[in-house]
Amino acid sequence: MTAIVIGASSGLGRALAEELARNGHALLLVASDVRDLVALAADLRLRHGVAVEPLALDLSREPDPGARVLEALGEDEASALLMPVGVSREDDAFGLGVGAIGQLLAINLHAPLAIAHALLPRLLVARGAIVGFGSIAAVRGRGRNVVYAAAKRGLETFFESLRHRHAPSELRVQFWKPGFLRSNLTFAMKLPMAPAEPSDLAADVVRRLPKGSFDRYAPAKWALVARVLRALPWSLFRRVKA
Ligand SMILES: NC(=O)c1ccc[n+]([C@@H]2O[C@H](COP(=O)([O-])OP(=O)(O)OC[C@H]3O[C@@H](n4cnc5c(N)ncnc54)[C@H](OP(=O)(O)O)[C@@H]3O)[C@@H](O)[C@H]2O)c1
């Protein structure tokens, strides 16, 4: 049985790879930077004695990422597919060029959907888990993070469809919506709240892997923030700068 981590080389993905290896899972790790991945795989094998395979893919260019992941998986059963992949841009506002829009959609939405579709039959055979990651940024549309938030909202809808279609006994469908995390995505950003540690979220994600299907904010305090943001009347919400 192999757990697959898409976006495994840094931040939450790296922390998930560490936590899964510590818990004895064999791993297939996917990201674009081959050197990071090969070093991470060797380190996890050495320290935790589990099988770890790296797969370098640039998800902004790969025409069929699902087929590449399936090919790398070979005959192994897929116990879990975790997709902490994501990319955002400072200039993600109106006026972004078509190439940049395509790249944001490819990495944040198209690749996760394509990989999920390709692996679904294998996950169903194993009665496994599929785990996606949205964002607090997708709660309401703002004038920044425009394409990123649209992609994350799309991903959230896709996971809701999966939950609607599959009972937790056949496939556990888990969707996490993080607030701020200390990672490359937030490096050097001025944040209104202290970021959570990826290792803390990763421990929570791995602990809840056997625990059915759900959609939740992480840490849980962000559920309250989301509720307040949703309840704000438009005339007030328009003035929110964050
Ligand atoms: N950080 C936050 O504050 C925050 C807040 C809300 C939601 N989230 C979401 O939480 C998840 C984890 O975020 P994070 O902060 O841990 O991100 P991160 O540290 O930037 O890591 C992103 C991962 O995605 C991979 N990736 C990016 N572009 C890729 C490409 N073209 N092809 C293949 N892999 C690619 C990166 O690997 P390479 O560099 O090797 O390509 C890396 O492993 C993401 O879905 C993110 O959107 C994060």
**Contact assessment for residue 50 and residue 26, using Cβ atoms and an 8 Å cutoff:** yes
65 lines ligand 1 (CB under 6 A): no
Predicted TM-score of the model (pTM): 0.97
- Cα–Cα distance, 109 to 100 (Å, whole number): 14
- pLDDT-above-70 percentage for the chain: 100
Q: Among the atoms of ligand 1, which is closest to the Cα of residue 180? A: 3
Q: Kindly state the helix (H) or strand (E) to which residue 82 belongs, with its residue range.
A: strand 78-83
- Cα–Cα distance, 156 to 158 (Å, whole number): 5
Q: Among the atoms of ligand 1, which is closest to the Cα of residue 148? A: 47
- Cα–Cα distance, 118 to 65 (Å, whole number): 9
Determine the pLDDT at residue 184: 84
pLDDT digits (tens, 9 = 90+) for 143-165: 999 999 999 999 999 999 999 99
Q: For domain 2-237, which CATH number applies: 3.40.50.1000, 3.10.20.30, 3.30.470.20, 3.40.50.720?
A: 3.40.50.720
pLDDT digits (tens, 9 = 90+) for 191-216: 878 899 999 999 999 999 999 999 99
Neighbours of 97 (CB within 10 A): 9
Is residue 31 over pLDDT 70? Answer: yes
57 lines ligand 1 (CB under 6 A): yes
Determine the pLDDT at residue 242: 64
3-state secondary structure 24-55: CCEEEEEECCHHHHHHHHHHHHHHHCCCEEEE
Sketch the domain layout of the chain as residue ranges.
2-237
